[in-house]
């Protein structure tokens, strides 16, 4: 008997505080730079205020990059530019500080956490804190078999919930969510196509290393075959993740939903995170209000998923590498929006002009915290 009832998330997740967002908009209208002059930074500052339930916005002081890692059996079909089962090498490079996300995180002073859910390697070759949530070694070949058993999918989902709780309890105030996987974009494409009711060719991209035409065709065929297996279980999101997802994707979905429960904002990096967010939206329709799309990765599956969730990426720099890099690139924008929202001075009140309580309070707060 299953112990996991994902329907509970629909009741547990509330939208960010709409009243606070209106207060943030009112405050913005009083500032010396006209509303709209800062473009999307205005909207971003108001989103963050609502997520924090705070006006003025507090600085983002304890962000964290969280990367879920796994190998996907479908990679054996040659759908990736990387060899099947090689995600552990990428994880070691991230941990050693040699991947792009490691370099940028070091420069920005943001810690990076890697969570092994299904790497195809001996767990003894990685640090204990990385492998402690592992569900299995690799995932099944989704074109012909389930990625996971139902029990493994539930365990992975709950591991993601536990990681979200660990981050929220430790004071993390914003998460950049990404993946380290080989074959993960293929699984993500299946989820997006299934949930959006579209064909494989519409969601099949070329991955982080821009595969050649023959590899793209193999990937498209794998997504098409897996899609036939996904459609009969669309009404059961956990079974969908078991059938055509993988342990890393199931964990990311659980992480996203529990982050929304804990009111911890999440920045989505790439197509894998977007696909998991789409599954999360199917489970709890309010949850996407807690998530932010960082960048356009060039993957058509990501574009389809974000369009379905009415999300517009903050950046378009052509970054395809994944591993949280695009999400981390968006972090300075989030911090800039917080600083401008909190620190821009307001127009002085005209003589005799009434000032609301919030405005008076803001004017009397010389010690308000500066944004990071």
Give the tens place of pLDDT for each residue, 188-209.
Answer: 999 999 999 999 989 987 765 6
Position 151 pLDDT exceeds 60: yes
Contact residues for 134 (Cβ-Cβ < 8 A; gap 6+): 116, 117, 118, 119, 123, 247
Average model confidence (pLDDT) across the chain: 91
pLDDT at 14 over 70: yes
Phi, psi of 182, deg, nearest 5: -120, 120
**pLDDT value for 323:** 86
| Residue that the structure tokens 């699984």 belong to | 187
Instruction: Kindly state the DSSP code that residue 95 receives in the 8-state scheme.
Output: H
Contact indicator for 309, 288 with CB cutoff of 8 Å: yes
Mean pLDDT across the stretch 330-350? Answer: 89
The position carrying tokens 């052509």 is 318
Q: Which of 89, 167, 323, 343 is catalytic?
A: 323
Which pLDDT score, from 0 to 100, does residue 354 have?
52
Check if 323 is active-site: yes
Better-scored residue on pLDDT, 256 or 360: 256
Which among 164, 178, 183 is positioned nearest to 255, based on CA atoms? 164
Q: What are 287's two structure tokens?
A: 């949850």
The total number of residues written for the chain in this structure: 372
Q: How far is CA 155 from CA 44, 133, 159, 248, 307, in A?
A: 34, 9, 6, 11, 30
Respond yes or no on whether the N-terminal peptide bond of residue 367 is cis (omega within 30° of 0): no
| In 284-352, alpha helices (H) | 300-308, 325-343
* CA atoms in the 13 A half-sphere facing the CB of 46: 19
Q: How confident is the model at residue 350 (pLDDT cuts 50, 70, 90)?
A: low
Give me the percent of the chain exceeding a pLDDT of 70.
Answer: 92
Query: What's the pLDDT score for residue 205?
Result: 79
**Is the predicted pLDDT of residue 371 greater than 50, yes or no?**
no
Spell out the domains of the chain, with CATH numbers in brackets: 13-59+335-363 (1.10.1610.10), 63-332 (3.40.50.10210)
Whether residue 339 is predicted with pLDDT greater than 50 in this model: the reply is: yes
- The structure tokens listed for 16 are 């960010």
Token pair recorded at residue 84: 């099947």
pTM (two decimals) = 0.91
Q: Would the pLDDT of 288 be above 80?
A: yes
């Amino acid at each position: 008997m299953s112990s996991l009832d994902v329907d509970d998330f629909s009741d547990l997740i509330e939208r960010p505080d709409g009243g606070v967002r209106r207060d943030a908009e009112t405050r913005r209208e009083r500032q010396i730079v006209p509303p709209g002059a800062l473009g999307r930074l205005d909207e971003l500052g108001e989103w963050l205020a609502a997520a924090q339930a705070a006006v003025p916005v507090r600085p983002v002081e304890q962000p964290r990059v969280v990367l879920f890692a796994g190998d996907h059996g479908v990679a054996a079909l040659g759908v990736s530019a990387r060899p099947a089962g090689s995600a552990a090498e990428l994880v070691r490079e991230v941990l050693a500080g040699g991947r792009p996300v490691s370099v940028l995180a070091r420069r920005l002073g943001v810690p990076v956490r890697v969570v092994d859910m299904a790497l195809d390697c001996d767990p003894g070759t990685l640090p204990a804190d990385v492998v402690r949530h592992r569900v299995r070694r690799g995932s099944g070949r989704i074109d012909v078999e389930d990625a996971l058993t139902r029990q493994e999918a539930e365990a992975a989902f709950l591991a993601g919930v536990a990681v979200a709780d660990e981050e929220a309890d430790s004071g993390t105030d914003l998460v950049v969510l990404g993946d380290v996987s080989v074959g993960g974009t293929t699984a993500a494409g299946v989820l997006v196509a299934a949930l959006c009711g579209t064909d494989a060719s519409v969601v099949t991209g070329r991955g982080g290393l821009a595969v050649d035409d023959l590899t793209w065709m193999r990937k498209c065929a794998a997504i098409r075959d897996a899609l036939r297996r996904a459609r009969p279980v669309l009404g059961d999101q956990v079974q969908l993740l078991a059938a055509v997802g993988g342990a890393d994707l199931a964990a990311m979905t659980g992480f996203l939903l529990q982050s929304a429960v804990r009111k911890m904002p999440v920045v989505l990096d790439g197509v894998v995170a977007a696909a998991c967010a789409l599954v999360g939206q199917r489970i709890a329709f309010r949850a996407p209000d807690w998530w932010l799309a960082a960048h356009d990765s060039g993957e058509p599956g990501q574009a389809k998923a974000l369009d379905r969730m009415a999300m517009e990426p903050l950046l378009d720099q052509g970054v395809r590498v994944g591993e949280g890099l695009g999400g981390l690139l968006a972090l300075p924008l989030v911090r800039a929006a917080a600083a401008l929202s909190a620190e821009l001075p307001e127009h002085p009140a005209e003589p005799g002009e009434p000032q609301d309580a919030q405005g008076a309070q803001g004017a009397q707060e010389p010690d308000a915290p500066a944004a990071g």
